[in-house]
Amino acid sequence: MPTEAENTWDNAESPSQSSSTKPSGLDKIKIIGGNPLYGTIPISGAKNCALKLMCASLLTGETMYFENSPNSLRDMNSQRELLRYLGCKIEHEGAALTINADNIETYTAPYDIVRKMRGSILVLGPLLARFGEAKVSLPGGCAIGTRPVDMHINGLEEMGATITLDEGYINAKAPAGGLQGAKILFPKVSVGATENLLMAATLANGTSTLANAAREPEIVDLGQCLIKMGAKITGLGTDTIRVEGVKALNGTQHSVIPDRIETGTYIIAAGMTGGTVTLKNARIDTLSSVLGHLSQAGIEVTQNNGDLVVSREIERLRGVDIMTEPYPGFPTDMQAQFMAMLTGADGAGMVTETIFENRFMHVPELNRMGADITVQGNSAIVRGVNGLKGAEVMATDLRASVSLVLAGLVAKGETTVNRIYHLERGYEDIVGKLGRVGANVRKA
């Protein structure tokens, strides 16, 4: 199966590329390891929240104003491309983003745009709820398992929608009077299905209950924005969310929460390399499980006037076991980075992945750098080694790619991370942010 990295790099807002110009997604990052990091890294708005907030804009004809939006990410670019295709008017400058969905021209989200990013499935619920119909291509995204969308579809059917799958498209129609409130019990905790159904329920007739709902901070932030838009929602952050449908929603202003995964990634970078790093605009309360495990490993994180200060307490970090779980458990999106950290730890750590199958693609690459990792089923034993060695590596998903960058920061000699396409999907200015705190890193 082709991965996203193999089959696409371009989109509407990319600077035009002639055949002689190399698209930036195929660039490499070169790192010479060994520098401790000192200084300040600003944390961007959360990608996994901003993408959904953009979809929420489809629920109203009034203008939405977002701040702290990670606009330079490739995934944000793909989402803008999709919303513009649907007919939205969008402007963005710096971290400000304005979206108006008053003149929607089509209810179809085409394969060419949706295949780039799984987050685009989140237009399904809002389109269906506001316009009564939607046609959305089955999504692409990182190549981390099969990632079905059955729970999104079943939930919308329980709200009265008629859904057929045809030639790779989800065709959805609401009943004549609009979607109906429903009691939906998710068989498994899903971030995306919870968000799609939450948005759909805001404009449905009557009350909806989402049971076994996901509790991620990004969902709470989306829900708080929906409440500002006039939605009636209770239970955000718990496993049971109740939504009383309203006739229409209004525009509002909303600031995107800081990215907890970017924050966790730079905490590990600081801890692995030594030194002291301050993370600006980060939120400690969304990282409890990660910080608990990092503290056991020997990384200290303290809060200082809204910033986080990270330092390593001991000469060599300790091996610690982790198991990924839905929030508030250890996030699957931090698993690869944690594993990169364990490669150099004193002792061993076991990493168990329970959310996605096929999410150990970084393992062979880390082993090529000298790591000692053995995978058995959905667990990996990482035995700490005395130093990694630089190598040429490549990964085909976002967090796997960044784990290789982390390994490169401490490896002896030069590491080349090929095809930075995936990094650019989820990390704003990663080369600049690491370079400014002392890493020897550059694009090549």
State the catalytic residues.
142
> Which of residues 327 and 369 has its CB atom nearest to ligand UD1 in the complex?
327
Q: Which is nearer to ligand UD1, 130 or 152 (CB)?
A: 152
In whole angstroms, give the CA distance from residue 431 to residue 405. Answer: 10
Closer residue to ligand UD1 in complex, CB, 118/135: 118
Stretch that binds ligand UD1, among 98-106, 123-131, 143-151, 307-315 (CB under 6 A): 143-151
185 binds ligand UD1 (CB under 6 A): no
Count of residues interacting with ligand UD1 (CB under 6 A):
21
Q: Which of 94, 148, 292, 347 binds ligand UD1 (CB under 6 A)?
A: 148
When asked if residue 56 is in the footprint of ligand UD1 (CB under 6 A), the reply is: no
Minimum distance from residue 148 beta carbon to ligand UD1 (Å): 4
User: x/- string (CB under 6 A) for ligand UD1, residues 149-168?
Assistant: xxxx----------------
CB of 188 to ligand UD1, least distance (A): 5
CB of 175 to ligand UD1, least distance (A): 22
Measured between alpha carbons, how far is 46 from 99 in angstroms, rounded to an integer? 18
Nearer to ligand UD1, 192 or 217 (CB): 192
**Residue 282 or 355 having the CB closest to ligand UD1:** 355
By beta-carbon proximity to ligand UD1, the closer residue of 72 and 278 is 72
Only segment of 100-108, 297-305, 328-336, 407-415 that touches ligand UD1 (CB under 6 A): 328-336
Question: What's the closest the beta carbon of residue 64 comes to ligand UD1, in angstroms?
Answer: 19
Stretch that binds ligand UD1, among 145-153, 268-276, 383-391, 435-443 (CB under 6 A): 145-153
The full 3-state SS of the chain, as one line of letters, equals: CCCHHHHCCCCCCCCCCCCCCCCHHHCCEEEECCCCEEEEEECCECHHHHHHHHHHHHHCCCCEEEECCCCCCHHHHHHHHHHHHHCCEEEEECCEEEEECCCCCCCEECHHHHCCCHHHHHHHHHHHHHHCEEEEECCCCCCCCCCCCHHHHHHHHHCCCEEEEECCEEEEECCCCCCECCEEECCCCCHHHHHHHHHHHHCCECEEEEECCCCCHHHHHHHHHHHHCCCEEECCCCCEEEEECCCCCCCCEEECCECHHHHHHHHHHHHHHCEEEEEECCCHHHHHHHHHHHHHHCEEEEEECCEEEEEECCCCCECCCEEECCCCCECHHHHHHHHHHHCCCECEEEEECCCCCCCCCHHHHHHHCCCEEEEECCEEEEECCCCCECCEEECCCHHHHHHHHHHHHHCECEEEEECCHHHHHHCCCHHHHHHCCCCEEEEC
Rounded Cα distance, 343 and 353, in Å: 17
In this chain, which of 35, 44, 48, 289 binds ligand UD1, going by CB under 6 A?
48
**Interacting residue with ligand UD1 among 33, 192, 245, 408 (CB under 6 A):** 192
Is residue 188 part of the contact set for ligand UD1 (CB under 6 A)?
yes
Smallest separation (angstroms) from ligand UD1 to the CB of 389: 30
Q: x/- string (CB under 6 A) for ligand UD1, residues 329-368? A: --xxx---------------------xx------------
Site track 110-129 with ligand UD1 (rule: CB under 6 A), x = hit: --------xx----------
Helix axes 47-56, 260-273, angle to 10 degrees: 170
Q: How far is the CB of 1 from ligand UD1 (least distance, A)?
A: 15
Binding mask 62-101 for ligand UD1 (x = CB under 6 A): ----------------------------------------
Identify the CA nearest to 215 among candidates 236, 199, 196.
Answer: 236
Q: Closer CB to ligand UD1, residue 35 or residue 44?
A: 44
Taking CB under 6 A as the binding criterion, the range among 204-212, 263-271, 326-334, 336-344 that sits at the site for ligand UD1 is: 326-334
Q: How far apart are CA 270 and CA 40, in angstroms?
A: 11
Phi-psi map region of 157: left, alpha, beta (phi>0 left; psi -120 to 50 alpha): alpha
Q: How far is the CB of 105 from ligand UD1 (least distance, A)?
A: 25
Binding site for ligand UD1 (CB under 6 A): 48, 51, 118-119, 145, 147-152, 188, 190-193, 331-333, 355-356
